[in-house]
Structure 1
Amino acid sequence: MGTRMKVFRVFKALHKTRMNVFKDDSRALTAARQKINEEFRKNKGETSEEKINQMIKMASDVEVVLRQSVIQGVHVGDKKIVLRPREDLLLENVPYCDNPRKKA
């Protein structure tokens, strides 16, 4: 696959993730869109294949962090925030045990 296509795919993936992660938060959506576009525009003239591949890797890593680590919080009072985790972030909850059972 060509480098140009890889750049386009990671750009598109970042914007798709941005739309999912910051859903219903117009301020965060706008800020993320501006930052993504700014970073890609800033490096538009890069010609070094090695540097381009490093930036593609960085963008992919950022997309993964956004998708796997960011949870929305909504202020509902002076000292209260309601978290709005996405369905794909919810995992099986395994209780912590201070004294694990020994294997027989």
Structure 2
Amino acid sequence: MGTRLKVLRVFKTLHRTGREVFKDDERALTAARLKINEEFRKNKEEPSEENIQKMIKMGSDVETVLRQAVLQVEHVGERQLLLRPRESLLLENVPYCDEPRKKS
């Protein structure tokens, strides 16, 4: 796949992930969109293939962090927060056990 297509794929994926992660938060959506566009525009004329590959990798890593580690939290009172986790972040709750399970 060509470098240009890889860059466009990362660009689109970052925007899609940003829309999902910051859903219903116009301020965060706008900030994410502007930052993504700014970074891609800033490096638009990069001549080095090696640097482009590094930036593609960084963009993919950022997308992964956004998708896996960022939670939406909303202030609902002076000392209260409302956590709005995405369905993809919810995991099965497994109780902690000090002793390892015995293999059968």
TM tier, smaller: over 0.9
Secondary structure of 2:50's counterpart equals helix
Aligned-pair Cα RMSD in Å: 1.2
Distance in 2 (alpha carbons) for counterparts of 1:102 and 1:79: 42
- Deviating above 6 A after TM superposition, structure 1's stretches of 4 or more consecutive aligned residues are none
Match of 2:102 in 1: 103
Match of 1:8 in 2: 8
Match of 2:93 in 1: 93
Match of 2:65 in 1: 65
Match of 2:44 in 1: 44
Structure 1 length as normaliser, TM-score?
Answer: 0.94
Shift of 1:79: 0.6
Change (3 A) 1:102 1:89: closer
Query: Unpaired runs of 5+ in structure 2?
Result: none
Secondary structure of 1:88's counterpart equals helix
Shift of 1:101: 5.2
Give identity over the alignment, percent.
70
Query: Unpaired runs of 5+ in structure 1?
Result: none
Secondary structure of 2:47's counterpart equals coil
Shift of 1:103: 2.8
